[in-house]
């Protein structure tokens, strides 16, 4: 990784004369964006800027102009040794083995984010419901309190009717009890008279007894009806009062539930923000790894094109050949820096991912000499 950092620092301070390195006093600058592919500017005896497309981006590359063919050949040789990709084996191992991990990480991050989002939405809905309930409770309590007062007012008449009926029943019962006692005494006297004991029992007024019993039964039925009416009115009052009491008590309980639900919603909102950040980082890690893989392929293609020219002795129109090689070298160098930058960004987002170990090549077993054949019997 130290080699990678060195490459980036060198690029930043313009250590290279090709690719993204900036020529002295050049405007526009190498590495900055350009608009027209193939455009040339800032021509000087030592080089010029050319607009090329690298990985879909238009950028200015500084291309050196040698003064002679030997100088051009020397430059190509020097460039060849400077185009190595730092930590190439490590980068290629990650490009080959890490996509599965990145996809699993991305799927897990998405699932975690969706789960927390659902919990957060539910918590917010609960908070809103409690707030709406608390806002409406004062009116509901006042309405319930008025209902209690109304039903309590309606208790007066059935209560008075019941008490009045009970008083009349008590009077009727006293009258009936008197005649009931008299009847019992008259029957007892007659029994004694039949056995020759005692004197004359006199006369018993059955009509008065029957009337007293009738009046008592009538009064009792009226009392029962009055009591049923009063009980019904009281039950209605009791039901209204229970509603009022429940709503009144609910005000404090709901405030406590709101405080708890709000704290839970805030916690989930913070968790959701963190999970969305983790999801975004997972997306970025996936994108950076894909970018590394894609640009590695481009880098190989451009580098192969450059090496084909750089390893051949210049002849004929050597300026044209050198210009083509310089362009390939500049694009390869830009891709190399892009690969390094994307890989460093990928590793910064996946600190929990260990570096893949290089595959060990098993040496084929060495065959032992076959045993000597025994001589044939004579």
79-90 residue pLDDT tens: 776 667 788 888
Judge whether 258 and 129 are in contact, CB under 8 Å. no
180-234 residue pLDDT tens: 998 888 888 888 877 767 667 778 888 988 999 999 999 999 999 999 999 999 9
What is the average per-residue pLDDT within 150-160? 92
Instruction: Output the CA–CA distances (angstroms, integers) from residue 83 to 22, 78, 292, in the order listed.
Output: 17, 9, 17
Q: What are the domain boundaries of the chain?
A: 2-106+293-349, 117-275
What is the average per-residue pLDDT within 322-351? 87
The CB density around residue 53, as the number of other CB atoms within 10 Å, is 12
pLDDT of residue 1: 53
Measured N-to-C along each axis, helices 206-310 and 156-194 cross at an angle, to the nearest 10 degrees, of 140
Rounded to whole angstroms, the Cα distance separating 320 from 65 reads 11
Where do the H-state alpha helices sit in the chain?
Answer: 2-13, 69-82, 88-153, 156-194, 206-310, 318-349
pLDDT of residue 82: 60
The answer on pLDDT for 9 being more than 80 is: no
Judge whether 330 and 52 are in contact, CB under 8 Å. yes
> Which is it for strands 47-54 and 57-64: parallel, antiparallel or unpaired?
antiparallel
- pLDDT band (50, 70, 90) for residue 141: very high
Rounded to whole angstroms, the Cα distance separating 291 from 346 reads 10
Q: Which two tokens stand for residue 315?
A: 């002849």
Architecture of domain 117-275: Orthogonal Bundle (1.10)
Run of H or E including 60: strand 57-64
- pLDDT band (50, 70, 90) for residue 359: low
Backbone angles phi, psi at 42, to 5 degrees: 55, 45
> What's the pTM?
0.57
Give the torsion through C-alpha atoms of 245, 246, 249, 250, to 10 deg: -150
Judge whether 86 and 4 are in contact, CB under 8 Å. yes
> Which is it for strands 57-64 and 40-44: parallel, antiparallel or unpaired?
unpaired
Residues above pLDDT 90, as percent of the chain: 39
The answer on pLDDT for 17 being more than 50 is: no
For residues 373 and 117, the model is more confident at 117
How far does CA 177 lie from the centroid of its chain? 82
pLDDT of residue 249: 94
């Amino acid at each position: 990784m130290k080699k990678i950092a060195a490459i980036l620092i060198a690029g930043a301070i313009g250590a290279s004369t090709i690719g993204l390195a900036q020529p002295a006093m050049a405007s526009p600058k190498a590495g900055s964006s350009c608009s027209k592919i193939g455009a040339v500017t800032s021509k000087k005896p030592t080089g010029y800027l050319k607009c090329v497309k690298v990985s879909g981006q238009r950028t200015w590359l500084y291309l050196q102009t040698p003064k002679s063919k030997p100088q051009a050949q020397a430059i190509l040789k020097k460039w060849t040794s400077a185009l190595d990709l730092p930590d190439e084996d490590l980068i290629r191992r990650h490009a080959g083995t890490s996509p599965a991990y990145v996809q699993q990480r991305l799927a897990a991050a998405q699932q975690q984010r969706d789960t927390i989002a659902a919990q957060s939405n539910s918590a917010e809905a609960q908070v809103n419901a409690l707030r709406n309930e608390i806002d409406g409770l004062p009116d509901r309590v006042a309405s319930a309190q008025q209902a209690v007062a109304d039903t309590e007012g309606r208790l007066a008449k059935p209560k008075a009717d019941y008490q009045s009926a009970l008083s009349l029943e008590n009077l009727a019962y006293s009258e009936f009890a008197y005649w009931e006692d008299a009847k019992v005494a008259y029957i007892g006297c007659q029994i004694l008279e039949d056995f020759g004991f005692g004197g004359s029992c006199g006369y018993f007024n059955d009509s008065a007894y029957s009337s007293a019993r009738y009046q008592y039964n009538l009064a009792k039925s009226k009392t029962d009806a009055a009591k049923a009416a009063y009980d019904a009115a009281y039950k209605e009052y009791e039901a209204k009062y229970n509603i009022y009491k429940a709503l009144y008590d609910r005000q404090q309980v709901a405030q406590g539930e709101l405080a708890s639900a709000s704290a839970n919603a805030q916690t989930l909102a913070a968790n959701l923000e963190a999970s969305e950040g983790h999801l975004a980082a997972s997306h970025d890690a996936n994108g950076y790894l894909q970018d590394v893989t894609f640009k590695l392929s481009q880098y190989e293609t451009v580098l192969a094109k450059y090496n084909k020219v750089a390893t051949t002795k210049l002849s004929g129109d050597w300026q044209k050949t050198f210009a083509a090689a310089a362009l390939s070298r500049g694009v390869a160098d830009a891709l190399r820096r892009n690969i390094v930058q994307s890989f460093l960004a990928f590793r910064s987002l996946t600190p929990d991912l260990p570096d893949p170990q290089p595959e060990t090549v098993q040496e084929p077993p060495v065959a032992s000499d076959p045993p000597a054949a025994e001589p044939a019997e004579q």
